[in-house]
A and B are shown apart, each in its own frame.
Chain A
Amino acid sequence: MKKLLLSFLLASPVLLFAQGSQVNTQGIKALGMAGAGSALFVDESSIFYNPGALVKMDHNAISAGASAVMYRSAFKEVNSTQQYDTKFQITPPFSVFATFGPKDTWWKAGLGVYTPFGGAVDWGQDWPGKYELNHLQMRAIYIQPTLSFKITDNFSVGGGFVYNLGFVDLSRSLPTFDANGNPGRAELSGVGTGTGYNVGVHYNLENEFAISLSYRSKVVTKLKDGDAKFTVPDALAASFPTTTFEAELPLPASFNIGVSFPISERLDIAADGTFIGYDIYKSLTFDYKDNTPTLEDTYQPKKYQKAFSGKIGLNYKASDKLALRTGAGYVASPVSAQYVYAETPDNNRVMASLGFTYMLSDKFDLTGAYTFQRILERTVTNAVTGLNGTFKTNIHAPGISLTYKW
C-alpha cells in the first residue's frame, strides 16, 4: 500500500522588524516631543537624528538613556466576545551617545549605540492565532561611529557607519497533537548582522530657523545558523529534526526632514516628517538547513508599502534649569490589511508625548519623557493564515536619560 503522505503545512514562521515594533526612543528629548526635534536639538543624540548637526555642539557629552516600552495588544475574533491580550511585559530599548573632539572647531566625532527597532509580543499558547504566533521578541542594536564637519558656520554635514546586531526569538504552535491532545511547537532563535549608514545635513539661520535633512540607509540583516527546535509527537520526530535556519531581514531606509523655529523667547516649535522605505519588505523566506518532506523552506508574503510619519512638538524653557516639552504625531502604516500578522498588528497610529529636561548641575542633565501611542483598531482577514478578527494596540513608553557634559 502506498504511503499516505503525512504533510503538515508548516506555515512560515512570522518574523519582521516592522513599524509596529518601531517606537523611536533613541533620544529622550525628542521622545518628549513625539519624535520631532531633529532640527532643534543639537546635542549628542544628533548622532542618531542627524549626524550633520553634531559638529554644532559647543561641548562634549556622553548620555545614557533607557525607556520602558509597554506594547499592549488585544485581539478579538470576528463574532466572538472573547478578547485575548498580549502578556504584560516591558521591552527596554536603550541608547548611549558619546562625542569626542576639540571644541569650537570644524569637526567632531561621536559614537552611538542604540536600538532603532525592537519589540516583544507574547500572545501565549491559548489564543485563536496560536498557529500563527505564540511569542516574538526581537531587537536590532545599531553601533554607529560618526564624523561631522562644518562647511560654514551655519551649514554642516555628517555621516556614520552602521553595524547592526539583530536578535530574534519566536515560537508558534504546530497542528500536531500528542497523546494528550496538546499541539506541537516550533521555537526559532538567532542572531544576525548587517551594515548600513546614516548621513545628514543641518542648516540654521542664526539661532532662529533650523532645518535638518537626514537619510538612514536600509540595513539588510542576515541571520545565519539560527536555532530551530520542534516539539512534536514521537511519531513525527524524524520529520521535524532540530536544525538551523537562515533568513534575511531588510530593515528599511528612511528619509527625514525636520524644521524648527522660535515662537517666542522661551518657546520653540519643531516638526519632522519621515518617509520610510518599507516597500523593500516584500516577503520573508526561511531556509532550513535540514529539509524533510514535512519541513520545507517557507515563504511568506509581506508586501509592505511605503510609510510616512509626521510629528510636531513644543519646547518651553520654563527656567534656566528646566525645559518642558509636549508633542503629537501620526504614522501611516506600511502594512496592508490583508497582511497584518499578530507579530506586529499594525495600523495607522496616533501618538502624544510629554517630557522635560532638568539641569542638575553644570555637568549633569536629567531628561525624562512619556509617550503614549495608539495603534488604531483594525478588523482584518489575513490573506495567508485566514485569521479573521480585530486588533487594537496601546503603547506606553516612559523614558529617562542622564547626560554628562564637559
Chain B
Amino acid sequence: MKRFQKNIKLYIGLVACALATSCAPEIDNAKPNENTGSSKPDFSKYIAIGNSLTAGFADGGLYLEGQQLAFPVLIAEKMKAHGGGEFKSPFFIESQSNGSGYIRLKALVNGQPVTEPVTDKLAVRGLSPNNTPLYTKYTEEVNNLGVPGMRLDMTEIQGLGTVKGNPYFERLLTEQAAMTSYRAFATSKNHTFFSFSLGNNDALGYATNGGVQKPDGTSTLTDINTFSNNLTNFITDLTTNGRKGVIATIPDVSAVPFLTTVTRQALLQAATTASQAQGGPAVTALFIATKAGARPATDKDMFVLPFASSGLLGKPNDQKIPYGLHPNNPIESQYVLDEAEVAEVKTRIDEYNKKILEVAKSRDLAVADIHAFLNKVKNGYVYNGIVISNKYITGNVFSLDGVHLTPMGYAIMANIFIDAINAKYGTQLDKVDAMQYRGVKMP
C-alpha cells in the first residue's frame, strides 16, 4: 500500500497518457482490390502529358500556385508511398511567381464580379516576333510536361517550340532542341508511367472562340482523322515495352461556365434595363451572326463569358443600329457558339472520346473519365457539405476564367485519375482530400 502511494503520481500519469493516446479508435484501411489481371505499374518515373489542365493553368494564366497544385503534382504525391519517384515541374521562381499573369476578383459590385489583371512578378522575358510574351526558360528535366494551349493536332509539328510557336512549350526547350515536336519531346523521358490528357483544345479552342477558326490554328476544330493518327502515334510511343498509364476523356464544352454563365435571358434583361432607363421599351429579341446568316438568338445558343463585360450589347454603330438588337448589327460570331455549332462540337467530342476509349482498350490503359465527371458537375452535386457545380465562382471548381479549375477542382480531378489507376491496376493510391484546397479567392 505504501508503495502504491509512493507511485501514485506515476500511475496517474500512465493512465492520463493512455487515455490521451491509445484510447483513440483505429479504423482499418480498405482491403486491396481484387487482382484485376493487369500487372502492377511502376510509378518510379511518372510523367504527365497534357495541356493547360495538366500544367495547372487557372484564372486565365499560368502562375506558381496553380503549378504547385496541378493535378499531376497531387497524383505524384500519392504515388510516393507506392514506389513513386521525385516529380519535377517547370515552376516559375518565387520572384516571378505570377508567371504569365492572371486575373483576380477585384470586387463584387451589386453581386456582379469585377476582375482585374495581376501584372506584378511576371516571368515575361521578352516579346516574340509576333509581339506575344515569351517566358523565363526552364530547360531542366521535368516530369510535368503539361503545356497550356497544346492540341493533339499540333503534337507532330516541328517548330512549335520556337519563339514563333507556343511560348509555354518554348520555355521548356533549349535553343538547340527548339525544332523538336511535342511528341518527340514527351516520349524521350524514359518514363515508367504516364498520364495523358490532350485533345480538349482541339474542340474547346473552337468552342470558346464562338465556332470561328482563327488563322493561327488555336481555334481549329480538329478533324477526326488527324486526331486519331496523332493519338495513336503518341500512345504507341508511350506504351513501348508494356509501359502503363492513364488517359483522360474530353469534357463536353457545354459544361464550362465560360459558355454557360452568360445566357440569352440574362442579356435580354440587361438590355431591357438599359433601354427602360432611357424610357425605351423592353428588349425581346437578340440577333446573332451565324454561318447561315443573322438570326434571332434562342436559349440554345451559348454566349462566351467575356461578352458580358465587353460593353458591346446595345452600342449603336455608325448607322445608329444598336449592337445585337437588330439583324443588321448582330452579335458577332466569335461571341456566340450557336445551336448548330454546339451540336457540331458535341458530335466531334463524342468521336474523340470513342477513339480515346478504343486506344485505351487496345493498350490496356486506365481511363480517367473527365467527360462523365464534367457532366456530373454540370448537373451540380453536394460533396462533403458543399456545392460543386459549373456556376461561375460559386460552383467552387472552376476558376475565374470559366474554363480552368480551382485548386479544389484540380484536387477532385486528381482523384478521378487515382480512382481510374486503382481500378485498372489494383493499386491503392491514396485519395486526395480535396477539401484542403480552395475555390475562388475573394477580396
Contact = CB atoms under 8 A, between A and B. Distances in A.
A233 B394 CA distance: 14
A235 B443 contact: yes
Interface residues of A, number: 58
Contact of A387 (B20, B107, B384, B391): B384
A234 B384 CA distance: 25
B292 interface: no
Given A1-B270, A88-B20, A394-B24, A131 B384 contact: yes
A152 interface: no
B386 A131 contact: yes
A79 B431 contact: yes
Given A179-B442, A181-B438, A3 B111 contact: yes
Given A81-B29, A181-B438, A5 B385 contact: no
A88 to B, nearest CB: 5
Contacts of A234: 442-443
A72 B431 contact: no
Contacts of B107: 235
A82 B433 contact: yes
A129 B385 contact: yes
B433 A128 contact: yes
A74 B110 contact: no
A266 B390 CA distance: 71
Contact of B430 (A75, A81, A85, A176): A81
A277 B26 CA distance: 32
A390 B28 CA distance: 9
A393 interface: yes
Contacts of B224: none
Given A79-B419, A88-B20, A2 B269 contact: yes
Given A3-B111, A393-B25, A236 B442 contact: yes
A4 B261 CA distance: 8
B27 A6 contact: no
B19 interface: yes
Interface in B22-50: 23-27, 29-30
Interface in B365-419: 381-387, 391-394, 396, 407, 419
B436 interface: yes
Contacts of A72: 23-25
Contacts of A176: 442
B266 A2 contact: yes
Nearest to A384: B382
Interface string A1-29: 11111111101000000000000000000
Contacts of A82: 430, 433
A385 B111 contact: no
Nearest to A132: B385
A335 interface: no
A169 B167 CA distance: 54
Nearest to B407: A181
Contact of A70 (B23, B112, B391): B23
B118 to A, nearest CB: 12
B150 to A, nearest CB: 27
Given A80-B431, A234-B443, A236-B108, A128 B24 contact: no
B112 A8 contact: no
Contacts of A385: 382, 384-385
Interface in B255-278: 261, 266-267, 269-270, 273
A241 interface: no
A130 B431 CA distance: 17
A292 to B, nearest CB: 11
B309 interface: yes
Nearest to B266: A2
A234 B29 CA distance: 42
B360 interface: no
Nearest to A130: B435
Contact of B433 (A74, A77, A132, A177): A77
Contacts of A317: none
B269 A386 contact: no
A4 B393 contact: yes
B359 interface: no
A108 interface: no
Interface in A71-94: 72-83, 85, 88
Contacts of A76: 27, 29
A8 to B, nearest CB: 6
B159 interface: no
B294 interface: no
B163 interface: no
A175 interface: yes
A235 B384 contact: no
A235 B24 contact: no
Contact of B385 (A78, A387, A392): A387
Given A4-B112, A387-B385, A377 B433 contact: no
A6 B441 contact: no
A233 B443 contact: yes
Interface in A34-92: 70, 72-83, 85, 88
Top 5 closest pairs, chain A to chain B, by CB: A131-B385, A233-B442, A181-B438, A385-B385, A132-B385
11 contacts: A1-B313, A2-B270, A72-B23, A74-B27, A80-B431, A82-B430, A88-B20, A128-B384, A177-B439, A234-B442, A235-B442
Given A6-B394, A374-B25, 20 more contacts: A1-B270, A4-B308, A7-B394, A11-B385, A74-B25, A74-B26, A80-B430, A80-B431, A126-B436, A128-B384, A128-B433, A128-B435, A131-B386, A175-B386, A177-B438, A179-B441, A179-B443, A234-B443, A377-B27, A394-B24
